Amino acid sequence: MNERILEIRSLRKEFGGVVAVKDLDLSVDRGSITALIGPNGAGKTTVFHMITGFLRPTRGDITFDGAVLQGRPVYTIAEMGIARTFQNVQIFSNMSVLENVMVGRHLRSRSGFLGSLLVPPFFRREEKEIRKAAARWLEFVGLGDQARLPAGSLPLGSQRMLEIARALAMEPGMILLDEPASGLNARETVAMGELVREIREMGITVVLVEHDMELVMDISDQVNVINFGSLIARGTPREVQANPEVIAAYLGE
């Protein structure tokens, strides 16, 4: 198995005349917590969108476990084992908390359209398994007692947890977290850090975009600093914090 689970080579994204991501090279070690940081508008979320198929790169290669990702539809990238959350939480507010996570079991179950209409015994068994697994993942993020609530009624912090539970229910090889601590209070941020560590303990590679530097420096194995769409530094939290270019980018020249 390759040491690097994700490799990005000369990735470029242009919107009209604007270059959002400029010939970016990036790699993520298997089993690591890798952070992507940089000032607002640096192109971090654009990179996430290209990895997960929401945006098509102008040029460049993205490979996950040796398989090429660019040009694939969104749902097939999920099939390859990449899960993600969204900067503006995207929970299904028309469903209950538990049902949200049950959708996360989509790829781990098989019942199709006709089976759903007719409900054969196999289907009932699978439905039970889906429910059980979803409840387990809710328990894991600490929302076990809120399973029956409408998802839209949860406070933002819990919604972020729910989104992660839903993504984990896919049992992905890698999870991309887009600003998981944004909008969380200090206590919730600490809990989020703990959760991210636990996710790594399960062998899932974590890539996160985050603005809370304390959190990033606390939990990351590798930090990549992006500015104006290019990588300006890469290293352990300690190395990156000492890098003069990074300091310049954050403080403004």
Q: Is the dihedral of CA 90, 96, 97, 101 positive or negative?
A: negative
d(CA 155, CA 132): 24
* 3-state SS class at 60: strand
d(CA 162, CA 143): 7
Q: Which residues in this chain contact other proteins in the complex, by CB under 8 A?
A: 52-54, 73-75, 78-79, 83-84, 86, 90-96, 99, 102-107, 109, 111-113, 115-119, 123, 126-127, 130, 148-150, 163, 166-167, 170
Q: How far is the CB of 21 from other proteins (least distance, A)?
A: 19
Is 109 or 236 the residue whose CB approaches other proteins more closely?
Answer: 109
Is 154 or 240 the residue whose CB approaches other proteins more closely?
Answer: 154
Q: How far is the CB of 73 from other proteins (least distance, A)?
A: 8
Can you give the C-alpha Rg of the chain in angstroms?
A: 19
Is 40 or 88 the residue whose CB approaches other proteins more closely?
Answer: 88
Q: Are 224 and 231 in contact, with CB atoms under 8 Å apart? A: yes
Is 18 or 118 the residue whose CB approaches other proteins more closely?
Answer: 118
The DSSP bridge partners found for residue 59 are: 12
Is 130 or 233 the residue whose CB approaches other proteins more closely?
Answer: 130
Is 23 or 171 the residue whose CB approaches other proteins more closely?
Answer: 171
Contacts of 170 (CB under 8 A, 6+ apart): 78, 81, 83, 104, 105, 106, 107, 108
Q: How far is the CB of 128 from other proteins (least distance, A)?
A: 12
Q: Are 208 and 176 in contact, with CB atoms under 8 Å apart? A: yes
- The dihedral over CA atoms of 202, 207, 209, 212, expressed in degrees to the nearest 10, equals 40
Element housing 54 (H / E): none
Q: How far is the CB of 92 from other proteins (least distance, A)?
A: 3
Q: How far is the CB of 217 from other proteins (least distance, A)?
A: 28
Q: How far is the CB of 74 from other proteins (least distance, A)?
A: 4
